[in-house]
Chain A
Amino acid sequence: MKTPCARSAALTVLILLTGVFSVSAQEGEKGIEFFETKIRPVLAAHCYECHSAQSDKLKGGLKLDSREGIRAGGDTGPGVLPGRSSESLVLKALRHEAKLEMPPKKKLPASVAADFEKWIAMGAPDPREAGASTGYKRMTPDEARQFWAFQPVKATAAPKVKNTVWSRTEIDRFILAGLEEKRLVPVADADRRTLLRRLSFDLIGLPPTPEDIAAYLNDKSTDATEKVVDRLLGSPHFGERWGRHWLDVARFAESNGNADNTPFPQAWRYRDYVIASYNADKPYDQFVREQIAGDLLPAGDSRQRDEQLVATGFLALTSKPRAQNNPDYLMDLIADQVDVTTRGVLGLSVMCARCHDHKFDAIAQKEYYALAGFFESSTMLAGVGRQPNNKKQPSGAGGLHELSDGSQSMGVKDSKPTDTALCVRGESQKRGDRVPRGFLAVTHTTPVPEVNRAQSGRAELAKWLADAQNPLTARVAANRVWLHLFGRGLVGSADNFGALGERPTHPALLDHLAAAFMQQGWSTKKLIRTIVLSRTYQLASTHAATAYATDPDNTLHWRMSPRRLEGEPIRDAILAISGKLDRTPPGKSLATATGNNAKRPVYAISESNVRSIYLGIARGAPLPEVLALFDMANPNIVVAQREVTTVPTQSLFLMNSPWLVKQAEAFATRLLEEKTASDDARVNLAYQMTLARLPSSAERDAALTHLRQWTQTPNIAPEKAWASLCQVLFATAEFRYVQ
């Protein structure tokens, strides 16, 4: 695909939203006035009959009734070349030059031609929109201003509820109000074992140990749950769980993919930066600013400077297309940077506007290029860098940031500041006017930051993105936190808050959370803490017929939805239980590029028992097996919410994978090492370790029967029989779901 978004439809290059392009706004207004008084009347009176969308018989393929049409021209070439009067065919025709005589039967006065000459010299300012349509309605600027997602975040008090005793927190009152409106009641609270398992997986991606369970069950204090939550939030494993959510958004991978799959041997530093940021509870606004413009932000010391340079890896981790024979190469790179920035931070798909005004959202093509300028003024540092083994370097791989300790990292740095010329229909060879660097009008902050034109302007872009007044940033972030704790965001389309996205099920709650998030210093940990201590989060996942009939998707939160774990916590939990989990961060990349072709190496994923987030992720190479089977995010695209599939290949893995059998054997060895324990006690322990609960007596009997069946057969050692039982526990649906 040449471009990612439709390149069709009305090429409406209108200046939609006043104030967007502050630099040229005044001049623009004058030009448009000139157009309206001197140019448009002439076109309408003398040209439209044969050269407009309404013409019965269009002549020469030329339409003069839109800005795009007059510029693109017809069969003989472009009609108007802004700024180049003498070369513009429309003017030649008016003057009856070059065998062109228009209008056909009469020559218009020389003063008209002079007006056209002046107008073209001004850059041919033209506010007209083309009339074509695809049948889908685009949001008007007015509608955009009214659209929920672009309204300022407004914290409101929780609504009144009839049941005044149920709620524990503000969140609960918002939820309960929604339930009461539909005459539904929430189910009972989850028991402590269920809640602990849920919290443990949600916050650190690992199951609770039998000791954790005992401690929580025996803690009779009123703040027992708070203590558990604070312990989990303080764990270094927290960043390994929540950092992965962000890496999905950041389309993190350790090789380029595409035609030239060069390695990114330094990408792991960005991975570790993300994990450390979540562990340190770095304010989210700062986290965003560092990734967009860390190289331009002030730094107190060299450590902070290094950290900020590494952060800009966010803009460099893309899968680059091949540069050769690709005139669009630079614009393709920029498209990815615009996408990861806008969809990643704002939950808005701006990429469509690369080729035309956004079909549905009020985002003009010009605004896309206003953003593109920040990145065209920057250099992407995605090189291979110095290699310890002195291997041959692929040519043209680009540079890297130099860090204070002599190491290197991916990222971006400023290059010559420039504004990007609009690409007509997204084609880099067909350039329009340069669009001053600027921001999206739909997400205005007041005042709009003034772009530092001596730099790339990314510092201002970062400021604008992470501004408390930006209506999207906090909402999108809060919604994702909700998504990862409930399995569904308050806005179901976590990466599309635009016109085609879903509307929030609880808009006031979303704003309440977004406002609280910002008030509490953009602290992700505090936001999580607030949510998981709500009664809503702590509900059981039990079925209720009436509520299910009304709301099968549980959008109203009458219960906790059972959720399938992602591949990472499934694998990490298995390793934790088998005793094989290596909890030490490797501090390096585990993706190894081998082979003779530096541009197209073969990637080997080293077998390792580290947490899944550290496993090597090379594009175009197989992803680590468990992760791939259980719907890992595609590292080529921005993913806010993963899919959940249920397929027989997963069952085959659970039944037959040599890796899983090995883990089950290690788990069995652990159980059998409990020398003094009875088989009953071992079964209990196995259940506690995998499911955080004790077996029912029927379940215990079934387990013991299974062991007997196997050990009574000659040649099956007790270890094997126990390993089979352990594998069964790993394979159950209950193990990979949080209830």
Chain B
Amino acid sequence: MITGDSDMNPHPLFHSRRDWLKTSACGFGYMALAGLTTEAAARDGVLNPLAAREPHFPARAKRVIFMYMRGAPSHVDTFDYKPNLKSDAGKSVGQLSGQVQDRNRGRKLLPSPFAFSQHGKSGLWISELFPHLAQHADDLCLLNGMHTNVPNHPQSCLMLHTGEFRFTRPSLGAWALYGLGTVNQNLPGFVTLNPPGDLGGAQNYGNAFLAASHQATRIGEEGGAMAAARIGNLQSPLTASRQREQLDLIQSMNAGLLRRQEVNPELEGVINSFELGFRMQAALPEVLDLAKESPATLQRYGIGKVGNNNAGNKDKAAAKKTAAGGATENFGRQCLMARRLVEAGVRYVEICMGNWDTHSGLKGRLGTLCNSIDQPMGALLVDLKQRGLLKDTLVVWGGEFGRTPTGQGEDGRDHNSAGFSMWMAGGGVKGGQRVGATDDHGSIAVENKMHHHDLHATMLHLLGLNHQKLTYRYGGRDYSLTDIHGRVVKEIFA
């Protein structure tokens, strides 16, 4: 078990790997190692920086599904019930400071157009926008005291994903992979489905200074149809053994270059990416093939037609209905793929839904958006639970910040980074509770405040990693995800 800094330092690993590359005799030959084609050798960690590793302390969560809501969803219309908004409708927000004051200045409190009610044994207040998810109220831990620095999408998107917006830093998923490795060496350890192309783009799922193999494999791009998203070139024109011969020759030349250059982490990333690519050819189509799921399952996720599914006529008719621009189609696919990926051993999966930036058209747009994610999220929680995966799979939902309780125009809300909500489920989190709170109107977090940094520290903790000890030495300094910040919010633990 890894207990301290020195053990987490990746350099010994690279040194031994390099030494091995140096000393390995003629011709190289990955085949001879049987190495990267078998899990056993891959797991030994000598060859592979992604080999599964023990955490610092027993983990509550072994894997993560992060649902990123790009554009900052309104908390006061979803998971942060504010009855005072109704009684104080039309009033100003009162004396606040900084950006909160600026954003609300001259604006009137706007009650939520959506009704809230209590759900589950716990009686959590949840908006009518989430009828499916609300059935899992007792599994949800609402984080109502979230806050972050900048009420501005690009900065806060990067902050949420990397803990920093001024400099390029590894993404949360890359850190998780760095700390824990991944259990299935035939799949990427970190996958992102339909991520935004802007707001920092690839930096949000990048490795920064960590080894290149820690960055996410992207499938699709936000705005595109998940059904059409492909990883190209998965089909080899050669037989497996011929291709392996070819790849061995490529890798022997790569290894030769690395021997000549002595140290080159980027090149090690290239070598790893070839092996991963090779194995992905077989493994990934299998995992992403939703035709393997029953029509009933697809329907539960709100997914319409799937390529090869052998649905009966009745199901086909139903499927056709949803396939024709079915609201849940895109996110349903993402949720189901996420389940299949974590089931197959992928460590960290991020999925994404955009367009929450409701400066106007709040009522209509929020209704549409929530409708498109609610049923799939409910189905995902059901599936994870049925498979016994929810107990150690951490599901996280949220955007880069929240929105103002005052109206922007008649039917919109402005950015608000001083108070907003996220939620977690599974992965050692105690459900049926809310942790943290905003003030009477939802303007600012006032109780058990949880910054993006605290979220990161807490998520790493759930994964069995000490956020202060998970460091990487780069350019003479030890870097960590949370830098000098971060508080583990233990109140949320089961």
Contact, CB under 8 Å: B250 / A649: no
**Which residues of chain B are near A702, meaning CB under 8 Å?**
27, 249, 252
**Which residues of chain A are near B26, meaning CB under 8 Å?**
698
Contact, CB under 8 Å: B277 / A728: no
List the B residue with the shortest CB-CB distance to A550.
Answer: B476
Contacting residues of chain A (524-551) with chain B, CB-CB under 8 angstroms: 541-543, 548, 550-551
**Which residues of chain A are near B267, meaning CB under 8 Å?**
562, 733, 737
Contact, CB under 8 Å: A61 / B203: no
Query: Is residue B480 within 8 Å, beta carbon to beta carbon, of the partner chain?
Result: no
Query: Is residue B151 within 8 Å, beta carbon to beta carbon, of the partner chain?
Result: yes
**Which residues of chain B are near A452, meaning CB under 8 Å?**
none
Contacting residues of chain B (21-69) with chain A, CB-CB under 8 angstroms: 26-27
Contact, CB under 8 Å: A709 / B153: no
Contacting residues of chain B (376-396) with chain A, CB-CB under 8 angstroms: none
Query: Is residue A235 within 8 Å, beta carbon to beta carbon, of the partner chain?
Result: no
**Which residues of chain A are near B435, meaning CB under 8 Å?**
none
Q: In the complex the two chains form, what is the Cα distance from A75 to B197 in whole Å?
A: 40
Q: In the complex the two chains form, what is the Cα distance from A130 to B257 in whole Å?
A: 59
Q: In the complex the two chains form, what is the Cα distance from A295 to B339 in whole Å?
A: 58
Chain B 90-122 per-residue mask, 1 if CB under 8 angstroms from chain A, else 0: 011111011101110110000000000000000
Query: Is residue B236 within 8 Å, beta carbon to beta carbon, of the partner chain?
Result: yes
Contact, CB under 8 Å: A543 / B153: no
Interface magnitude class on chain B: 35 or more
Given A5-B152, A7-B415, are A552 and B474 neighbors across the interface (CB < 8 Å)? yes
Contact, CB under 8 Å: B106 / A651: no
**Which residues of chain A are near B474, meaning CB under 8 Å?**
552
List the B residue with the shortest CB-CB distance to A72.
Answer: B106
Given A648-B280, A702-B27, are A728 and B246 neighbors across the interface (CB < 8 Å)? yes
Q: Which of B93, B197, B236, B256 touches A656 (beta carbons < 8 Å)?
A: B236
Query: Is residue B318 within 8 Å, beta carbon to beta carbon, of the partner chain?
Result: no
Query: Is residue A163 within 8 Å, beta carbon to beta carbon, of the partner chain?
Result: no
List the A residue with the shortest CB-CB distance to B245.
Answer: A709
Q: Which of B92, B105, B233 touches A652 (beta carbons < 8 Å)?
A: B233
Contact, CB under 8 Å: B257 / A11: no
**Which residues of chain A are near B149, meaning CB under 8 Å?**
134-136
Contact, CB under 8 Å: B233 / A657: yes
**Which residues of chain B are near A649, meaning CB under 8 Å?**
217-218, 231-233, 277
Stretch at the interface among B128-136, B258-266, B440-448, B456-464: B258-266
Contact, CB under 8 Å: A58 / B246: no
Query: Is residue A569 within 8 Å, beta carbon to beta carbon, of the partner chain?
Result: no
**Which residues of chain B are near A651, meaning CB under 8 Å?**
270, 273-274, 276-278
Contact, CB under 8 Å: B261 / A8: no
**Which residues of chain B are near A724, meaning CB under 8 Å?**
242, 246
Interface size on A, residues (CB 8 A): 81
Contact, CB under 8 Å: A634 / B198: yes
Contact, CB under 8 Å: A7 / B103: yes
Query: Is residue A6 within 8 Å, beta carbon to beta carbon, of the partner chain?
Result: yes
Given A8-B152, A702-B27, are A645 and B97 neighbors across the interface (CB < 8 Å)? no
Query: Is residue A407 within 8 Å, beta carbon to beta carbon, of the partner chain?
Result: no
Chain B 338-369 per-residue mask, 1 if CB under 8 angstroms from chain A, else 0: 00000000000000000001010000000000
Chain A 698-736 per-residue mask, 1 if CB under 8 angstroms from chain B, else 0: 110011001001100000000000001101100111100
Q: Which of A6, A135, A733 has the most CB of B within 10 A?
A: A733
Q: Which of B151, B188, B269, B281 touches A6 (beta carbons < 8 Å)?
A: B151
List the A residue with the shortest CB-CB distance to B166.
Answer: A500
Q: Which of B105, B166, B201, B414 touches A61 (beta carbons < 8 Å)?
A: B105
Query: Is residue A38 within 8 Å, beta carbon to beta carbon, of the partner chain?
Result: no
Contact, CB under 8 Å: B212 / A646: yes
Q: Which of A8, A55, A645, A652 touches B231 (beta carbons < 8 Å)?
A: A652
Query: Is residue B6 within 8 Å, beta carbon to beta carbon, of the partner chain?
Result: no
Q: Which of A634, A636, A647 has the most CB of B within 10 A?
A: A647
Q: Which of B152, B273, B414 touches A650 (beta carbons < 8 Å)?
A: B273
Q: Which of B71, B249, B261, B476 touches A543 (beta carbons < 8 Å)?
A: B261
Contact, CB under 8 Å: A61 / B106: yes
Contact, CB under 8 Å: B233 / A653: yes
Contact, CB under 8 Å: B261 / A542: yes
Taking the nearest CB of chain B, how far is it from the CB of A182, in angstroms?
Answer: 12
Taking the nearest CB of chain B, how far is it from the CB of A486, in angstroms?
Answer: 16
Taking the nearest CB of chain B, how far is it from the CB of A719, in angstroms?
Answer: 14
Query: Is residue A10 within 8 Å, beta carbon to beta carbon, of the partner chain?
Result: yes
Chain B 153-194 per-residue mask, 1 if CB under 8 angstroms from chain A, else 0: 111000000000010000000000000000000001000000
Given A8-B103, A132-B101, A732-B257, are A645 and B150 neighbors across the interface (CB < 8 Å)? no
**Which residues of chain A are near B92, meaning CB under 8 Å?**
60-61, 74-75
Q: Which of B233, B236, B357 touches A1 (beta carbons < 8 Å)?
A: B357
Given A698-B26, A698-B27, A706-B249, are A134 and B99 neighbors across the interface (CB < 8 Å)? yes
Contacting residues of chain A (55-89) with chain B, CB-CB under 8 angstroms: 55, 57-58, 60-61, 69, 72-75, 78
Q: In the complex the two chains form, what is the Cα distance from A10 to B103 in whole Å?
A: 10
Contact, CB under 8 Å: A731 / B245: no
Q: Which of B95, B98, B270, B280 touches A646 (beta carbons < 8 Å)?
A: B270
Contact, CB under 8 Å: B203 / A643: yes
Taking the nearest CB of chain B, how far is it from the CB of A185, in angstroms?
Answer: 17
Query: Is residue B311 within 8 Å, beta carbon to beta carbon, of the partner chain?
Result: no
**Which residues of chain B are near A658, meaning CB under 8 Å?**
237
Q: In the complex the two chains form, what is the Cα distance from A8 to B97 in whole Å?
A: 11
Contact, CB under 8 Å: B273 / A74: no
Taking the nearest CB of chain A, how far is it from the CB of B207, in angstroms?
Answer: 8
**Which residues of chain A are near B198, meaning CB under 8 Å?**
634, 636-637
Query: Is residue B253 within 8 Å, beta carbon to beta carbon, of the partner chain?
Result: yes
List the A residue with the shortest CB-CB distance to B100.
Answer: A8
Query: Is residue A553 within 8 Å, beta carbon to beta carbon, of the partner chain?
Result: yes
Contact, CB under 8 Å: A9 / B278: no
**Which residues of chain A are near B188, meaning CB under 8 Å?**
648
Query: Is residue B127 within 8 Å, beta carbon to beta carbon, of the partner chain?
Result: no
Q: In the complex the two chains form, what is the Cα distance from A136 to B150 in whole Å?
A: 10
Q: Which of A564, A655, A658 has the most CB of B within 10 A?
A: A655
Contact, CB under 8 Å: A731 / B212: no
Q: Which of B223, B262, B266, B281 has the most CB of A within 10 A?
A: B266
Contact, CB under 8 Å: B245 / A706: yes
Query: Is residue B16 within 8 Å, beta carbon to beta carbon, of the partner chain?
Result: no
Q: In the complex the two chains form, what is the Cα distance from A703 to B256 in whole Å?
A: 14
**Which residues of chain B are near A731, meaning CB under 8 Å?**
250
Query: Is residue B323 within 8 Å, beta carbon to beta carbon, of the partner chain?
Result: no
**Which residues of chain A are near B95, meaning CB under 8 Å?**
55, 57-58
Query: Is residue B312 within 8 Å, beta carbon to beta carbon, of the partner chain?
Result: no
Contact, CB under 8 Å: B277 / A7: no
Given A543-B262, A652-B280, are A732 and B254 neighbors across the interface (CB < 8 Å)? yes
Query: Is residue B87 within 8 Å, beta carbon to beta carbon, of the partner chain?
Result: no
Taking the nearest CB of chain A, how far is it from the CB of B10, in angstroms?
Answer: 14
Taking the nearest CB of chain B, how far is it from the CB of A711, in angstroms?
Answer: 12
**Which residues of chain B are near A656, meaning CB under 8 Å?**
233-237, 281
Query: Is residue A304 within 8 Å, beta carbon to beta carbon, of the partner chain?
Result: no
List the A residue with the shortest CB-CB distance to B355.
Answer: A1
Chain A 341-369 per-residue mask, 1 if CB under 8 angstroms from chain B, else 0: 00000000000000010000000000000
**Which residues of chain A are near B154, meaning CB under 8 Å?**
4
Contact, CB under 8 Å: A9 / B99: yes
* New contact pairs (8) apart from A9-B98, A55-B95, A734-B254, CB-CB < 8 Å: A57-B95, A548-B263, A551-B475, A646-B212, A651-B273, A657-B233, A727-B246, A732-B257
Instruction: Give 21 A-B contacts (CB < 8 Å), ordered by A residue.
Output: A6-B155, A7-B103, A7-B415, A8-B152, A58-B94, A75-B91, A134-B150, A542-B262, A634-B198, A636-B198, A643-B201, A646-B212, A647-B217, A649-B217, A649-B231, A651-B276, A652-B281, A655-B277, A698-B26, A710-B242, A733-B267
A interface with B by C-beta (< 8 Å): 1-2, 4-11, 53, 55, 57-58, 60-61, 69, 72-75, 78, 130, 132-136, 356, 425, 500, 541-543, 548, 550-553, 562, 564, 620, 625, 631, 634, 636-637, 643-658, 661, 696, 698-699, 702-703, 706, 709-710, 724-725, 727-728, 731-734, 737
- 5 closest Cβ pairs, A-B complex: A8-B99, A651-B277, A6-B152, A61-B92, A646-B212
